[in-house]
Amino acid sequence: MTSSRRQFIGGVLGGLIGGAAAILGWAKLNGGNNPDAAATLGAAPTSLLPVTTTTVSSSSTSSPVAPTSTVDSSTTSSTAPPSTTTSTSTTPPPTTSTTTTTAPPATTTVPPTTTAGALAAFSTVAGEMPALCKAAWGANPNLGEFKPHTIERFTVHHTAAFLKSPGQAPARARQHQKYHLGKGWPDLAYHFLVDALGNVYEGRPIDAVGDTGTSYDPTGHFLIAAEGSFSEQGLPAAQLAAMAELLAWAAVTYDVDPSEMRGHKDWAPETSCPGNAVYAHIANGTLESMMRDAVARGVKQVRVVCSDAAKQYVKDLEATA
């Protein structure tokens, strides 16, 4: 074999050997020693998934946007803007009840409805203040025993009975006594009643303790009651003046200062007695001032009257009801 032929055959063999080595090297480089190579190459890695896939997933689990409609916002109170509750809480409350409770009824004047002749028989005695005796206004006699006491203070009540006219007062007084007797009390609860015309009605003896259906002890209290319902009606000027004269007389007679005068509800806070129209004159000092004025000029002496003229006066008064 010639040398040139040997060189040709050697070149061919060298090329074949080099090609085989190249093939083996490629196989080794592309997974020949990695059993997971096919799986790795055949499936796209998770990190290379499209971004839109994760975006859709995350948006489906996020909290919904709070509705902008005021109608729907009530159903999602946790996300509703605070301005909704603020506007509700700042709505001003009605003022009707405040106005009616803080403004006491004005003092009114009730014109006399009886003839001057009947009243003159016993009410124009100088320096005296007549009081219609129990027999004159048709009361029942005392039916029980009284507990004695000494007057130390004054307490003002109202009867809480609305009267359409002053002529109803005597009948109302009889009803009050009947009701009080029915409660087991020995007489009318008060020592005196005063009606819209300024008439004074005798009640239980002054030296006997009064009665009450409320929480205070009336021992030592001089009790007067304004006939009427003064949470709903005004206080007549004649009634207020007679109350002041009667209380002033008691202040002098029992040597008790006018400053010891109170309203029923001052002793028993559960009641509204003696009503706004009466209590206003107690709270602002008007009634006490009127008592002091009466004491300064000389009090009128209370005189219980049981004459025929007094009885006739009551009949005439009731005829106007």
Please provide residue 66's backbone torsions phi and psi, each rounded to the nearest 5 degrees. -60, 135
DSSP per residue, 162-216: --SSGGGHHHHHHHHHHHHHHTT-SS-SSSEEE-TT--EEE-S-TTB----SSSS
CA dist 17 and 19 (Å) reads: 5
What tokens were used for 9? 């055959």
Please report, rounded to a whole number, the percentage of residues in the chain having pLDDT higher than 90.
59
Same domain membership, residue 288 and residue 181: yes
Number of domains composing the chain:
2
Q: What is the three-class DSSP state of 220?
A: coil
120 vs 79, more confident: 120
Q: Are strands 200-202 and 192-194 parallel, antiparallel or unpaired?
A: antiparallel
Interhelix angle for 116-123 vs 308-318, to 10°? 140
Looking at the chain, how many residues does it have? 321
Query: Is 179 a member of any domain?
Result: yes
Dihedral Cα 118, 121, 125, 131, nearest 10 deg? -70
Which CATH number characterizes residue 148's domain? 3.40.80.10
Is 87's pLDDT higher than 80?
Answer: no
Per cent of the chain over pLDDT 70 is 61
Q: In the structure encoding, which two tokens stand for residue 188, read together?
A: 């009318």
Do residues 287 and 178 share a domain? yes
Q: Residue 226's closest CA among 304, 289, 292, 169? A: 169
- Position 34 in a domain: no
Asked if 25 and 124 sit in the same domain, the reply is no
Contact 172, 164 (CB under 8 A): no
Task: Tell me the pLDDT of the chain averaged across its residues.
Answer: 74
Whether the predicted pLDDT of 157 surpasses 50: yes
- Residue 183: which residues within 8 A CB-CB, separation 6 or more? 211, 213
* Mean pLDDT on 160-171: 95
Residues 120, 124, 129, 134, Cα dihedral to 10°: -20
Range of the domain at 239: 116-318
pTM: 0.65
Residue 278 lies in a domain: yes
Question: Does 206 reside within a domain?
Answer: yes
The tens digit of pLDDT for each residue in 12-34 reads: 455 554 544 444 443 333 333 33
Whole-angstrom Cα distance, residue 136 to residue 164?
A: 22
- Of 196, 192, 283, 301, nearest to 245 by C-alpha is 301
Task: Kindly tell me if the per-residue pLDDT of 124 is higher than 90.
Answer: no
For β-strands 261-263 and 153-158, DSSP reports them as parallel
Domain shared by 160 and 17, yes or no: no
